[in-house]
Amino acid sequence: MSSVPERSEVDEEYTWDLESVYATDEDWEAAYEAVAERVEELQTYEGQVTENAETLLSVLQLRDEIMREVSTVAAYARMRRDEDTTDQQYQALTARAQSLAADAQSAASFIDPEIQELTREEFDEMVDEEPDLETYDHYVDDVLRMKPHTRSAEVEEVLAELSEVTGATGEVYNMLSNADMEFPTVEDPEGEAVEITQSNFTNLLKRPDRDFRREVYEGYFDEWESVRNTVASAYKNSVKADVKTARARNYDTAREAALDGPNVPVEVYDTLVDTVHDNLDKLHHHAELKREALDVEELQMWDLYMPLTGDEGPDLEYDQATEYVVDSLEPLGEEYQSRVAEGLDSRWVDVYENEGKQSGAYSGGTYDTQPFILMNYQDDISSMYTLAHELGHSMHSELTKEEQPFVYSGYEIFVAEVASTVNEALLTKHLLETVEDPEFKKHVLNEFLERVRSTLYRQTLFAEFEHEAHRLEEEGEALTADRLDELYRELKAQYYEPAAIDDRIAREWMRIPHFYRAFYVYQYATGISAALAITDRIFDEGTAAAEDYLEFLRQGSREYPLELLRIAGVDMSSSEPIERALETYGDRLDELEGLLE
C-alpha cells in the first residue's frame, strides 16, 4: 500500500530547522512569557502618542519591538502545528500565540487613531525635531490616508480584540480539512492501494488511467459532500465577518475595504476580470486540445489536470529539482543565486509530506529568523515549480529585511506573488534552453501552460466567485450550500465551456482555503501578469532590468504596491501586462500543439 509516512520517518535533512528559532519548546515558553509582559508597556502611552516628537518615536519603536517578538513566537507555534495538524500540544501553542497576537494588536490599537489627530504638516515639523521619525514617513502617510475608515480608540480596541473571533472560521475550516477529514483509499491499475490526501489529489488526477482518475475524483468530492453543510456554514460566516467589519470601518463593500488596505483601486480587480473574460477563447482552446490528446468524446472534470503530453511526466527527485532551480536564477546575479543555494543547504525547506502535515506549500519565517518553506514534494515537475515559487517569496523577504526597518519588512500580497512567479518564469526559460530531452521540454511547456491556467484563469474565476458571494451577502441573500454550488457551477461552465460540468465540480469551492482570506486570490492573477512582464524585460534588457527588479524586492512595503511595481518597469493600473501574459499563454499553447503534431 502507498502510504504517507509518519513525521518521525522523514530524514532530518529534508525537514526545516525550527531549532534555529527556539532550541526547545521551553525556550518558546520563556519568549512567550517575556513578550506577553511587554505588551502591557504599550498602554502606558495611551493618550500621549502625539504629545511630542520624542514620545511618538518611542511608542512606534516600542510597538515594533513587541510585534517583532510576537511574530516570531507565533510563527514557531504555527509551523510546529503544521508539521502535524493533529498534534494537540502544538494546536494549543498556536491558539495561545494567536491570542497573544490579538492582545498585542488590541494593546496597540490606540496608536493609529491618535496619529490621525495630526496633520501632515504637524508630522513634518516633528521630523524636523526628531530626524529618526523620518523612518516612519510612509507609514504615517498610510495611517493618515486611512483616517476616514479608522474608528475611535475604543472601537479600534474592540475590533482588534474581535480579530481572533472573526478569523475563527478559517481556523475551523483548516482543522476540518487537514486534521479531521478522511479521504478514501483507492486501488490503482497495478492493484496497489493509494490513499487520497489533500496534497496528492491533483497529482492523482494526472494518472493516465481514466477510470482510476474518475474514482479518485468521485471519492475525493464525495468526502467533501459529507461535510457540505459545515463548510457552507463556515464560509457564510466568514463572508458575514468580512461584510460587517467593512461596514464598521465605513466602507460600502467588503471588496472595497480589502483592496483599500494595500491602496489598490477596485478598477484593477475589474480590469483583471474583464481582460480574462475577453480571452476565454484561449482557455477553451486549451481544454479542446486536452480532449483531443485524450481522444475522448467529451472532456470531463477528472480530465482537466491531465497534461497535453498524455502521461504523468518524468520523475524528478528533489535534489535534481534544486539544481535546476538554482541554475535558472543566474539572470538575477551571482549573489541572489548563491544565497538560494546556501538556503537550500541550511534546511530552509520542509520537503516531504507526512501524516497530518499541513497541505499545500508556503514560505514563512519572520524578520528575525531565516526563511522557512513548507512543501509536500511529490517527485514531479509541478513540485519543482512550487519550490521555485516559494523560494521567490523567501528571497523577497530576505532582501527586504536587509534593506528595510521592521515597519516595512512585510509586503502586500499584490506584490508578493510577483517575486514567486518571476522565479517560475526564469525556470521555464532555463529548462527550455538547456535541457536536451524533447519529451522533457514538452512537459516543461505543459507545466508552464498549467501554471498560467491555474494561476491566471483559475484564480480569476475564484476572484469572481468570492466577489459575487460577498455581493449576495451585502444584498441580503442567504448563502446556502445550494446557492454557493449554483454560483460556482455557473462560473465553471463559462470558463470551461467545452467540458462537461457535473454536480461534484460545483462543490469545488469547498476545497479552496484561500477563500477565508477575502479578496486574496485575484493577486495571484495580477502577480503572474506582472511577473511575466518583468521576466520579458530582464531577458530583453539584461543586467539593468534585473537590478530594477532586485531594487523592487528590496523596497518591501516602503511604497504602495502599484508604485513599487513601477520600479520594476510594470504598470498594473492598465490591462497591458495581463494582455501580454495571456498572449504569451496563447503562443506557448500553439508551440506545444505544434510539437505534439
Q: Which residues are catalytic?
A: 390
SS3 for 410?
coil
**Cβ-contact 434, 592 below 8 angstroms:** no
Q: Mention every residue, 6+ apart, whose C-beta is less than 8 A from residue 485.
A: 506, 507, 509
What are the strands of the beta sheet with 372-377, ordered from one edge?
Answer: 349-352, 372-377, 362-364
- Do residues 239 and 479 lie in contact, with contact meaning Cβ atoms separated by under 8 Å? yes
List the grid coordinates of 263: 491602496
What are 426's strand-pairing partners?
Answer: none
Question: Which residues lie across from 363 on neighbouring strands?
Answer: 373
Q: How far apart are CA 78 and CA 261, in angstroms?
A: 25
Q: How many CB atoms lie within 10 A of CB 302?
A: 24
Task: Give the cell for residue 127.
Answer: 521630523
Alpha-carbon gap, residue 351 to 594, rounded angstroms = 36
CA distance 419 to 300: 34
What are the angstrom distances between the C-alpha of 480 and each of 471, 485, 486, 506, 514?
14, 9, 10, 13, 19
> 436-445: which pairs have CB atoms within 8 A and are 24 or more residues apart?
438/595, 439/309, 439/314, 440/314, 441/595, 442/308, 442/309, 442/592, 442/595, 442/596, 443/307, 443/309, 443/313, 443/314, 443/381, 444/381, 445/588, 445/591, 445/592, 445/595
- Taking alpha carbons only, the member of 1, 9, 17, 3 closest to residue 374 is 17
Residues 361 and 199 sit within 8 Å (Cβ to Cβ): no
Strand partners, 299: 499
Q: How far apart are the first and last CA of the chain?
A: 38
Tell me, what DSSP letter sits at residue 597? -
DSSP, res 359: P
Q: Whole-angstrom Cα distance, residue 469 to residue 482?
A: 12
DSSP code at position 592: H
Q: How far apart are CA 75 and CA 81, in angstroms?
A: 10
Here the cell at position 34 is 517575556
